[in-house]
Amino acid sequence: MTVLKALNWATDYLKEHRVENPRLNAELLLARSMRLSREELYIRLHDQAMEEEIKTLEGLIRRRGSGEPLQYILGHQEFWSIDLKVDPRVLIPRPETERLVEEALSILAKISSKKIPSVLELGTGSGAIAISLAKEVKNIFLVATDLSGDALMVAKDNARQAGVSDKIGFVKGDLLNPFHPGETFDLILSNPPYISDSEIKDLSREVRNHEPLIALKGGKDGLEFYRKLISQTSSYLKRGGRLLLEVGNNQAPSISEMIEAEGGFERPERVKDLSGTERVVKAQKVDSRKWRVEKN
């Protein structure tokens, strides 16, 4: 069978099995089966594929056709131009989370001219956010946590691969439980699980059946983690420290209200992603010293 014929078979199979972008998926999986880049695949379209390669392709295409995400089959996903290893132990990092990284970097740029910033990321998954910050900020002290020990293993591997292991401490635990009040950070950020119970069933089969539920389920209304986090965070932030949260669709107003009701923060701000959806809520802890100086 020629490479082109194999590619057409794979594309048709994926189309029949309701996979989005069937041609692109087929090309990437065929390239993987033949241990070629996509560019090399195009050059070889009229060559004969080996029997072994077709057998491997069939296996991969059937997995994709049954709904397994492409990234888990290929074993990696790019985030912030960093190649991250992903498997079913971790959520596949999403492009919209890069908005959170951008906001974090603009906060860190202001702090890092004065001192080494200390940052806590809660629920690190593949390590995408913490690793991006470690790559971008030369001097930084980062702690990244997760409740899932399996996820932390992937995150540690990714940090090693990205050459930033020495900048990130990984800690297993439930939200802020591993820390003592008084152990404070300049920035606490998180992309917590935020899918409500009723929305879980509407997720695509790729997400619902393959990504870790612990990374998705945000309780009855999707806001459980925000409630816990917002009620605990202030004791772990330095004066003037920042809280930065990725939020689900339409959740930003409720989360801003929660922060205002909690008190101790300046008025929260809502930041949109590229699609115009409010994606990040940021708040600064009141600096009572500054307030006193301004008042006098």
Ligand X SMILES: C[S@@+](CC[C@H](N)C(=O)[O-])C[C@H]1O[C@@H](n2cnc3c(N)ncnc32)[C@H](O)[C@@H]1O
> Footprint of ligand X on this chain (CB under 6 A)?
91, 93, 97, 122-126, 128-129, 145-148, 151, 174-175, 191-193, 214-215
Please list the residues that pair with 246 across neighbouring strands.
280
Token pair of 293, please?
Answer: 């100086």
Least distance (Å) between residue 167 CB and ligand X: 17
Q: Which C-beta is closer to ligand X: that of 201 or that of 295?
A: 201
Least distance (Å) between residue 155 CB and ligand X: 8
Q: Which C-beta is closer to ligand X: that of 49 or that of 252?
A: 252
Least distance (Å) between residue 186 CB and ligand X: 19
Least distance (Å) between residue 280 CB and ligand X: 12
At 121, phi and psi to the nearest 5? -110, 125
Cα atoms found within 13 Å of the Cα of residue 254, Cβ hemisphere only: 14
Least distance (Å) between residue 246 CB and ligand X: 7
Q: Which C-beta is closer to ligand X: that of 58 or that of 96?
A: 96
Cα atoms found within 13 Å of the Cα of residue 258, Cβ hemisphere only: 22
Cα atoms found within 13 Å of the Cα of residue 32, Cβ hemisphere only: 20
Neighbouring C-beta atoms of residue 30, cutoff 10 Å: 27
d(CA 42, CA 114): 52
Q: Which C-beta is closer to ligand X: that of 17 or that of 76?
A: 76
d(CA 37, CA 31): 6
